[in-house]
Structure 1
């Protein structure tokens, strides 16, 4: 479904991504892990058309998206849930959700809203409440619901666990896993490697703008270097013995 080949993205003279190649097949849940500043958000922004690639190929559903703008990428079926959620704080929950369906008919939006309420009952309970009054986890669910309103074929998730409590993170990931089982294709980037790989089919490791490892999620979870770098001190100590 999505193929990135030898992608290079720069901010002025600083190269953020260097020869990055990633593929995501239809229906897959793929996680890309890496530390802060590795280039994860840049990759998603490039796919979405927010930041143009300097070199390389980006193909979605057999069509080049390298020169597409954000609204064109959205029209093709790509939706982004940004880092930090970025809900419209002064608008109600329902108004936020409807922002995601601006290009759809009222009938289509009504049907989709009911699906979203079924998946995230708390959003229905708080539909008339200002989004800024929601908890971090509720805002993350709202951001996902807003993205689903455009009926995406590919959902891009940027750091969904950021700033959330462990139990809330688990709940968010279980919702994403449920969405994946419906056939939705997901490309997720995270620093929280343990959660990202637990629920994914495959994964990539991005360091300093380059892909350094790839494989099944199970393989990466069992890789000693991934354990040392991303899964905490206890794994590092075992690696050093």
Structure 2
């Protein structure tokens, strides 16, 4: 479904990604782990067309999207949840979700998507008329994910979904992602929290200094104590939101 081949991405003259190659099959849950500054966000931004200076190829469902603009990439069926959620805090929960459906013209489909997501995230249905900025950190992340899913993407890309959240909330969030995966959604996320990503994903890649240095089944990588010690994150701190 998604294939990245020999991708190098640049910020000016600085090469942030170095010949990165990976693939994601339909209905897979794939994670990319690595410490802070490894290039994880750069990879997602390259796929989404936010970084134009790059070499290599990016294909989605056999379509070359390497040099496409972000809006065209979204229209092809790639949903994106950026780091930090970036919800519209002054709008209600429901208004945020409606904003996510801007490419859907069929009102019945929008209603169908809304009801599906309310089934997955019942707290959002309960608070649909509440201002989004009043939600807890975990609820805001659920809203950010749901907003991206309102456009009916074929694959969902997420950047650090567990950032700033308490362990209990992180587990709840990943359980919801598992439900979405079981419903047929393809998921590709980047995480600094290696342990949780490896626990729930099917396969994983390890990124270090802009290069893929390891890949394999997540269940096997989860048994590698040295890997966890190195990539659970030197920047990890016991600080989170509800």
Instruction: Give the TM interval when normalised to the shorter protein.
Output: over 0.9
The within-5 A match list for 1:182-201 is: 182-201=183-202
Q: Secondary structure at the match of 1:138?
A: helix
Partner of 1:57: 57
Q: Does the Cα contact within 8 Å between 1:31 and 1:204 map onto a contact in 2?
A: yes
Partner of 2:209: 208
Partner of 1:98: 98
> How many angstroms does 1:28 deviate by?
0.5
Please tell me whether residue 37 in structure 1 is matched to residue 31 in structure 2: no
CA distance in 2, matches of 1:15, 1:213: 20
Q: Secondary structure at the match of 2:129?
A: coil
Partner of 1:129: 130
CA distance in 1, matches of 2:44, 2:67: 14
Consecutive unaligned residues of structure 2, counting only runs of 5 or more, are: 235-242
CA distance in 2, matches of 1:191, 1:26: 24
> How many angstroms does 1:219 deviate by?
1.7
CA distance in 2, matches of 1:227, 1:107: 45
CA distance in 1, matches of 2:232, 2:36: 14
CA distance in 2, matches of 1:115, 1:137: 19
Partner of 1:72: 72
Partner of 2:159: 158
> How many angstroms does 1:53 deviate by?
4.7
- Structure 1 stretches of 4+ moved >4 Å: none
CA distance in 1, matches of 2:232, 2:206: 13
Give the aligned length. 233
RMSD of equivalent CA atoms? 1.2
CA distance in 1, matches of 2:97, 2:233: 37
CA distance in 2, matches of 1:11, 1:231: 26
